Structure 1
């Protein structure tokens, strides 16, 4: 008996791959797709590539939009441009954001870019769901806790040069990048994931429940719980709280596509970073 035909996603959401250097993007694209695009004036900025995804559940040729940070202004200027009204439609069409950086880059610079991406997403669609990856190319510099730094901003960190599986039996390196993208919801009409954070037990909500409870206790210590009267809360504190809760939601979005063991570790790191920012 012939096997059922795998559905083809005709018009999938996009991947937006961003880097400070064209060379970094080319390295990732070569490893991930086996090909690289033809450069225009020595840059990939504004070009598009294709990632062919073939799984047991669907097939899709996912467009990969490529962009490079401006030399002057960096993450802030890039973020400002993507927060313009006319860029909203582009941002809402993206199902996965991939920041590609060299392992020797400054921690603060990487953090600034991750926050700029989150700002762009929230500006266009506060209810956005998708995949957030931060992928390093080149040899990692010892002494930097990239996993923790990226998790604090809602991104999953992947060392593209790693290989094999980790101690939990999970894929590493480019294989992990591909698997994370394979579980992304690429079809805009697919509502199956709409309530995924309402799941209990071992679902995403269950995984984050202990950390979320700890976050609630921290907010209570700051006097920022719901029962506090509006007049008793400083407006700056409210703005900071909204940003922190947005980061928690981003972490949940990212964790949704991870295996259970990795998802639990990611949840703990993400909320630990948020609590550290709250200085609790």
Structure 2
């Protein structure tokens, strides 16, 4: 028995995306690729996109939303001054309504270039902490420009998911990369600002009170909870022979889900505890798309 189709909730006033880019050119190219719509023109008086906004239309089985993107042009050399301004109490209302930070950064060369990426993100984290202080989940993505896929072993930088800006297609795990990964991560986010669903899923996957207990722990009750939306029926329907085909498809769906969770567990095993927690929270949001 197929469950009735539900209309995704329309989020009328979603939280914002804050895009930080080193130049108008990088912001324009990225926005065009991300939204498939022409980005705004620079301010004729300043010649900058700073202070401009754009819209990203998102849709998944749970919601539809037109999420505003606030654009800021920040030279990495001036990021400390920028962070000082936005971490000030007088500007607290700005980060308080930001649900995602997307930072475009040139990768640079060797360890020196990577150290520069970490330095910039550490400064921006001072502002992100205000957004996280609202007790709502915040997406943190750094898009590395001028970097080859696989150049760096780590896909995470102090809690930021690192995405290679020029990458296309899928990685060895079949996951989206590049700009498509950015859109996927933003699409999986809860823009309405309601924390209940994410907290519930974290508990079900063994992430209790923000603590990751041995990675992702799935028990029989968890499997049954996943089984219902995959099969599209309740236990009492199991005797209906017409559903045998649905059940076979559901088993395959569970197996694929478990393989993906095992891969996520392996990826997170070598991370420091703080990064592992954020990795797990991101993985929970992504897994929602498969249920």
TM-score normalized by the length of structure 2: 0.66
Whole-Å separation in 2 of the counterparts to 1:76 and 1:192? 35
Whole-Å separation in 2 of the counterparts to 1:129 and 1:122? 11
What's the counterpart of residue 14 of structure 2? 12
Q: Quote the offset at 1:109 in angstroms.
A: 2.3
The answer to whether the Cα contact below 8 Å between 1:12 and 1:61 also exists between their aligned partners in 2 is yes
CA change 1:112–1:32 in 2 (3 A) is same
What's the counterpart of residue 287 of structure 2? none
**Secondary structure class of the residue paired with 1:95:** strand
Unpaired segments ≥5 residues, structure 1:
212-258, 276-280
The answer to whether the Cα contact below 8 Å between 2:156 and 2:162 also exists between their aligned partners in 1 is yes
Which stretch shifts more, 261-270 or 20-29? 261-270
What's the counterpart of residue 238 of structure 2? none
Describe the superposition over 1:22-63 as per-residue Cα deviations: whole angstroms up to 9, x where unpaired.
222112101101221111133211111100012222110000
What's the counterpart of residue 255 of structure 1? none
Q: Please point out which of 25, 31, 36 is paired with 2:39.
A: 36
Q: Quote the offset at 1:16 in angstroms.
A: 0.5
| 1:139-154 matches, cutoff 5 A | 139-140=146-147, 144-145=151-152, 148=154, 151-154=156-159
Larger Rg: 2
The answer to whether the Cα contact below 8 Å between 1:95 and 1:186 also exists between their aligned partners in 2 is yes
CA change 1:33–1:19 in 2 (3 A) is same
Count how many residue pairs are aligned between Structure 1 and Structure 2.
223
CA change 1:21–1:189 in 2 (3 A) is same
**Secondary structure class of the residue paired with 2:55:** strand
CA change 1:274–1:186 in 2 (3 A) is closer
The answer to whether the Cα contact below 8 Å between 2:99 and 2:131 also exists between their aligned partners in 1 is no
CA change 1:88–1:272 in 2 (3 A) is closer
Describe the superposition over 1:136-162 as per-residue Cα deviations: whole angstroms up to 9, x where unpaired.
23x4158952x62x6241011111221
What's the counterpart of residue 271 of structure 1? 272
Q: Does 1:194 align with 2:196?
A: no
Q: Does 1:87 align with 2:91?
A: yes
What's the counterpart of residue 58 of structure 1? 63
| 1:241-252 matches, cutoff 5 A | none
What's the counterpart of residue 161 of structure 1? 166
**Secondary structure class of the residue paired with 2:137:** coil
**Secondary structure class of the residue paired with 1:193:** helix
Whole-Å separation in 2 of the counterparts to 1:69 and 1:135? 14
Q: Please point out which of 175, 180, 183 is paired with 2:185.
A: 180
Q: Does 1:118 align with 2:120?
A: no
Q: Please point out which of 5, 25, 33 is paired with 2:27.
A: 25
Describe the superposition over 1:69-127 as per-residue Cα deviations: whole angstroms up to 9, x where unpaired.
257x5121111011111211110101111111233372222112211222112245433
Q: Quote the offset at 1:197 in angstroms.
A: 3.8
**Superposition RMSD in Å:** 3.1
Describe the superposition over 1:235-269 as per-residue Cα deviations: whole angstroms up to 9, x where unpaired.
xxxxxxxxxxxxxxxxxxxxxxxx63564355335
The answer to whether the Cα contact below 8 Å between 1:97 and 1:133 also exists between their aligned partners in 2 is yes
TM-score normalized by the length of structure 1: 0.69
